[in-house]
Structure 1
Amino acid sequence: MSTRAPDRSLSGRVALVTGGTGGIGLSTAVGLARRGAEVVVTGRDPERGHAAVRRIAEAAGIAPEAVHLRIADLGVLGDVRRLADGILADHPRLHLLVNNAGVNHGSRRSTPDGLEANLAVNAVAPVLLTRLLLGRLAASAEPGRAPRVVLVNSGAHKMVRRAVDALDDPQAEAGPYVAMTVYARSKLLVLMAGLALAREPGTGPVTVTAVDPGPADTGMTRAMDRTFLPPAMRAGWGLYYRLGPARRSADTAAASTLAAASSAALEGRTGIYLDAKGRPARTSPAARDEAAHGAALALLDDFGADTRTTRL
């Protein structure tokens, strides 16, 4: 089944895209607006955010006032909660949540809540935001049109051989810090949690789809170098970048997310993983360890339940 070509109008649909002011998130927001969605994007920097709003509006041929900006740092749990509160206050309906924001830091950083930064942004924030907005999403369901949650994941999750490797050291406290390994573990955690969430009875009519956008030339990938990789992989970094990210634009990488957001072929289907071409695909063996899915969701729920009180 091919889902790459988005084939449903999003007219009248409200879509929230986290990290929508740059990279793949911005390309996703443009694509959604062009398909008729009322788009809300989040970003940390107001100047960059307003520039992104203008770009989205111009590309979609709509007034800038039709695109909404929310300033939030998704590495701060209080900001995640304030973001959700603002959406609930200002948008009576919400049909699509694209959890796109992501980071990959070259050295270990802690957030104000005492969380390792990759864990906080890539895994805890999307689960917490989904939990907070799930009721509004479910209440926005229409006959034949299920609200959708899209988790922008990464093929990097396949670097983690066992689910327990991500579950046992989510804070990257054991051993030397290797950026891509920590990033991969955060992506495996949120993927497993998303698959568990897709099966939860409380999710109701809302579907959950994870996507691999594939490599892309974005600010995040341009900031990387060979030191991000495990030592055994460092010699091949330059060639990988030239043949991978450097050859794919953010617009190309956004195709799988847009398919997850609007493909009629996915209507009512949940717990699907799409590859970089927007096709249903298999996850890694570690991600298929169903016994670990609930543990990952419980772990991320626990991290998101408190701020600086339990995980320092």
Structure 2
Amino acid sequence: MPSFLSGRTVMVTGATTGIGYETARLLAESGATVLLHGRTPQEARAAVARLIATADVDAELLRPCAADFAHLDEVERLANRVVAGHPHLDVLVNNAAVAAPEHRTVTHDGNELSFQVNFLAHYLLTNLLEPVLTTDPGGRVVNVSSSMHRSASISWNDPNRTRRYSRLAAYAQSQLALTVFAADPRVSAVSVDPGVCETALRPLYGHEGATPAEGAAHVARLCDPALEIVNGAYYDRSTRRDSARGATEERTIKRLNKLAELLVGHSA
């Protein structure tokens, strides 16, 4: 890939494995300074070391950072460190995700695990990083979503699924929320389904997938400042398509913001 991202700074969450790791590699190879997020400092540093050893990247462009998204206080500390150390962030790739467990699991913060890790943590992180997210042309947020958002509904009165839990419904709800969040007018953002890939999430889809590198190419493409985006646009790999019905409606966006603010204890 050409060095079209030279001089730009990009943060990728969930960048130690799978699509996130390959996205970080592609962006660094394209000249970007990459803030490579992992669940722990050890995992982030190991991913950086692996990239330096195996990819054509400049070690100076890789910056490990860490936060366990199952703990919102760690997300807040991560955001504070990024704001302090990087006053200009061109792109934020919200990629970190977990499969909803077979049995309902609640975080320390009281939220269903996949809803918090896949959506609420990214909601909080994005809002806290807003002061440094550039408003220059080409600046954007890229939410890595899934086609499963189309089969989802947000349980507005019971988002943590206390009364009726299904791992597929919980996971799909988190992906719908992330897709709706991309249409928030406060930042320029898009969402993308990179396709089913051979990652830890693949068993949810029930069939074989592409390589993580193939999926990452669709994510990295959306980080190119030369690619003009429309806020809230949804991409199925490299093709722009309509998202789920109602996902870009102002009423739904406002309702999701209100719910998220309540659950993360942060007023945007």
When normalised by structure 1's length, the TM-score is 0.79
Matched, 1:189 2:177: yes
Matched, 1:241 2:207: yes
Which structure has more helix as a fraction of its residues? 1
Deviation at residue 18 of structure 1 after TM alignment? 0.6
Residues 44 and 72 in structure 1, CA contact (< 8 A), matched pair in contact too: yes
Deviation at residue 241 of structure 1 after TM alignment? 1.5
Partners in 1 of 2:63 and 2:247 — Cα distance? Answer: 35
Residue identity in the other structure for 1:283: S
Matched, 1:172 2:154: no
Residues 2 and 30 in structure 2, CA contact (< 8 A), matched pair in contact too: no
Deviation at residue 181 of structure 1 after TM alignment? 0.9
Q: Which residue of structure 2 lines up, in the alignment, with residue 233 of structure 1? A: none
Q: Which residue of structure 1 lines up, in the alignment, with residue 259 of structure 2? A: 299
Unmatched 5+ stretches in structure 1: 1-5, 229-236, 307-312
Matched, 1:158 2:150: yes
Partners in 1 of 2:192 and 2:159 — Cα distance? Answer: 22
Count of aligned pairs:
265
Match of 1:137, SS state, is coil
Q: For residues 73-103 of structure 1, what are the alpha-carbon distances to aligned partners after superposition, in whole Å with 9 as ceiling and x for unaligned?
A: 0121101100001101111221111110011
Match of 1:209, SS state, is strand
Larger radius of gyration: 1
Superposition pairs of residues 32-43 of structure 1, within 5 angstroms:
32-43=27-38
Match of 1:136, SS state, is coil
Match of 1:167, SS state, is coil
When normalised by structure 2's length, the TM-score is 0.91
Q: Which structure has the higher relative contact order (CA within 8 Å, separation 6+)?
A: 1
Matched, 1:257 2:253: no
Q: 1:63 to 1:146 in 2, by over 3 A?
A: closer
Partners in 1 of 2:69 and 2:59 — Cα distance? Answer: 24
Identity of aligned residues (%): 32
Residues 170 and 186 in structure 1, CA contact (< 8 A), matched pair in contact too: no
Residue identity in the other structure for 1:113: D
After the TM superposition, which segments of 4 or more aligned residues of structure 1 sit over 4 Å from their partners?
none
Superposition pairs of residues 1-312 of structure 1, within 5 angstroms:
9-104=4-99, 105-138=101-134, 141-142=135-136, 145-160=137-152, 163=153, 165-175=154-164, 177-195=165-183, 197=184, 199=185, 203=186, 206-221=187-202, 224=203, 240-242=206-208, 245=209, 248-262=210-224, 264-266=226-228, 269-276=230-237, 278-305=238-265
Deviation at residue 289 of structure 1 after TM alignment? 4.7
Partners in 2 of 1:109 and 1:265 — Cα distance? Answer: 39
Residues 16 and 47 in structure 2, CA contact (< 8 A), matched pair in contact too: yes
